[in-house]
Structure 1
Amino acid sequence: MIGEAVTLPVQVRHINYVIAAADHGSFRRAAAALSVQESAVSRRIRDLEDRLGAPLFTRSSGGVQLTPAGKQFVERGRKALSQIGLAKAEVTAIGRGEDGQITIGIFSSLASGFLSDLIQAFGARHGSVKLTFIDGNPAEHIAAIRLRQLDVAFVTGVTNWQDCQSQHFWSERIFAVLPSDHLHACDAEIQFSDLIGETFIVSESAPGEEIHDYLVQRLADLGYHPDIRQQGVGRDNLMRLVALGCGLTVTSEATTAAQFPGVVFRPIVGQVLPFSAVWAPQNDNPAFARLLALARSMARPAATSKINVSTREKPARAVPLQIRDPSP
């Protein structure tokens, strides 16, 4: 009989009735505190005792007192209610997008620009949301989006990725990275034709492959096949190699806010790189929904302003880096 009883569920209201009776010392006062009938408290506690196979109270004309089993039940019951309360609060916060976490794939520098402003603004509004950032190239990020390993990726281009939703949020000018003693280091801006005959260096890791393809594409338009050398270093050391005279490279506008001794950044006339957010249409993460809404609200005023380009060269269209869709 007892073995069957313990398999029956103990409801939260049963725990509340027992704790109230223990706190007030009587079923009548517990019922008044809970705004229910005294008979309901008495009956539910009796049912619970039958289920548990042990009395929780000793009853007398003066009220009720906890038995040893009752004291243990109340101690555990208070902890259970506390955990339930915490769980409700956490779930409510996550459901409202006030808590939880977002995993973000990035392909642009966080030194400045739209993405930097977005993350800062979101953190100020939703400081309890945990943000995790993962570097990588767009193809890797899109594969992770499809596997639900990323909530969103901010990538170059305006590609319509299969099985994904995307939106263009901002654009950045493209800059040549030159050693400070370079012939064009003092120019306010340069053209791609100024870079013919130069040696370029790119990283073996992201976004090295994309920059390689971009340089080949742009300089091929001028009838030149560039000398591009891959280096097994990250961005910071790549900048140091430029300073040491090992070659030039290019980067997006956001990177130029960082300080790298011995190098200068010069905008390349007419070269603009669009950036988009990509996410899975079935993503139901409320925190991500808030991030996306904030990005859209921040992008609207930015969309009304135009990027200034020089009249030295006819403005080129926004040229995305060449990215291969990993879809079969």
Structure 2
Amino acid sequence: MPLLKWRTFPMSNNSTEIEIRYLRYLIAASEYGSFRKAAAALGVQESSVSRRIRDIEDQVGASLFLRHPGGINLTIAGQRFLHRVRHALDHIRDAAAEVAAIGRAEDGYVKVGLFSSLSSGFLSDLFREYDAKYGSVHIDFVDGEAHDHINSIRKFQLDIAFVIGLGDWPECDTTYLWSEQVLVALPEGHPLSTEDALTWRDLSSEKILIRDTAAGMRIQDYVIRKIREVECEPRVEAQRVGRYKLLNLVASGRGITLVIESENLVKVPGVIYRSLRGEVLQFYAAWSPKNDNPAFRTLLSLARSMARSSAPQTSSPVQDLDGVLAEPSRKRDLSR
């Protein structure tokens, strides 16, 4: 049995304590049936084993061994005491191993806030890789809006959130991870479906459907501004439905909507996708710098590593929608 770091067991109301290492002497003596053989196995003097076991007997108030010329045997009291000792040491050893595994992120629990789909793209690759490396870590996914995720992070109800754009988020650290093309979801047979890529002017006469949520309202403001930049008046309609129900409305011909690149693998009958030229969304991770959850830290480290390895080699500028789905934007820090 490996030497445990805890030093003592309290034994009674008289504050009697037994050092755990001396319980190892007791176990070895019972296994070898001899103080001499137990001492040799432990690499200590026979007198030390005999003395420490006598001390334990004095402390518990009962003889644990019958001593005879041929060796030693456990008494009934000794058998019961040893059974309990083995149980206690097994629990301590298991607890130490469990905590050590959590510290190495081999085990544990991570709560992750999401906005986008896990069906494809960066997040799909990230969690596939994480599961391969840390399969014993349980991941709890929570879908929601960026501001809800940030509030949960501040309360330590979430470990990390993957969000679109940056906001003014005190008490949170952020890092850029990846970008995705904005796509236009159209009903099959729509006149714009013949184009490979669309512009805001192409959308100016279309009814654009959004979700009636905080993020949806920010998209509405953005769409209105972009279409007015091409000197047209936008038509935006809010619907109180979920993300994929909105696509069903598109399929029925009630309008068009905007989605992100990783969501275009969600095949909704009657819906096709075309890219919106020049429009790119940037995704960030947000977390509390006070969060010391090892399983979360390994996830963040892996996300950063994958982001670095997948970063484009060119530095050509792209237009992004920072702040469209986030709270009021701040200057982003890509150096973290």
TM-score (norm 2): 0.87
CA distance, structure 2, for counterparts of residue 117 and residue 306 of structure 1: 22
Q: SS where residue 296 of structure 2 aligns?
A: helix
1:203–1:238: 8 Å Cα contact kept in structure 2?
yes
> How many residue pairs are counted as aligned between the two chains?
318
CA distance, structure 2, for counterparts of residue 200 and residue 216 of structure 1: 10
Q: 1:295 aligns to what? A: 303
1:107–1:207: 8 Å Cα contact kept in structure 2?
no
Q: 1:311 aligns to what? A: none
RMSD value, Cα: 2.3
- 1:56-114 Cα offsets, whole Å, 9 max, x none, are 22222222211222111211222222222222222222112222121111111112111
The code of the aligned residue for 1:323 comes to A
Q: Tell me the CA shift for residue 305 of structure 1.
A: 3.9
- 1:289-324 Cα offsets, whole Å, 9 max, x none, are 22222112211232234599xxxxxx8621221422
Q: Which residue, out of 303, 318, 321, partners 1:319?
A: 321
Q: 1:241 aligns to what? A: 249
For structure 1, list consecutive stretches of 5 or more residues without a partner in the other structure: 309-314
Aligned pairs for 1:170-209 within 5 A: 170-205=178-213, 207-209=215-217
Q: Tell me the CA shift for residue 160 of structure 1.
A: 5.4
CA pair 190-183 structure 1, distance change in 2 beyond 3 A: same
Aligned pairs for 1:11-90 within 5 A: 11-90=19-98
- 1:187-214 Cα offsets, whole Å, 9 max, x none, are 1111111111322222335753443333
CA distance, structure 1, for counterparts of residue 71 and residue 219 of structure 2: 81
Q: 2:274 aligns to what? A: 266
What's the % identity of the aligned pairs? 45
Q: Say if 2:258 is the partner of 1:256.
A: no
1:204–1:233: 8 Å Cα contact kept in structure 2?
yes
- 1:231-263 Cα offsets, whole Å, 9 max, x none, are 332222221111011221111111012211110
CA distance, structure 2, for counterparts of residue 185 and residue 206 of structure 1: 30
Q: 2:7 aligns to what? A: none
1:173–1:252: 8 Å Cα contact kept in structure 2?
yes
- 1:134-171 Cα offsets, whole Å, 9 max, x none, are 11111111111111111111111134521111111111
The code of the aligned residue for 1:317 comes to Q
Q: 1:167 aligns to what? A: 175
CA distance, structure 2, for counterparts of residue 157 and residue 245 of structure 1: 30
Q: Which residue, out of 283, 287, 291, partners 1:283?
A: 291
Q: More deviation in 52-61 or 20-29?
A: 52-61
Q: Which residue, out of 97, 110, 121, partners 1:113?
A: 121
Q: Which residue, out of 134, 147, 151, partners 1:143?
A: 151
CA pair 53-207 structure 1, distance change in 2 beyond 3 A: farther
CA distance, structure 1, for counterparts of residue 319 and residue 12 of structure 2: 76
For structure 2, list consecutive stretches of 5 or more residues without a partner in the other structure: 1-10, 329-336
2:208–2:257: 8 Å Cα contact kept in structure 1?
yes
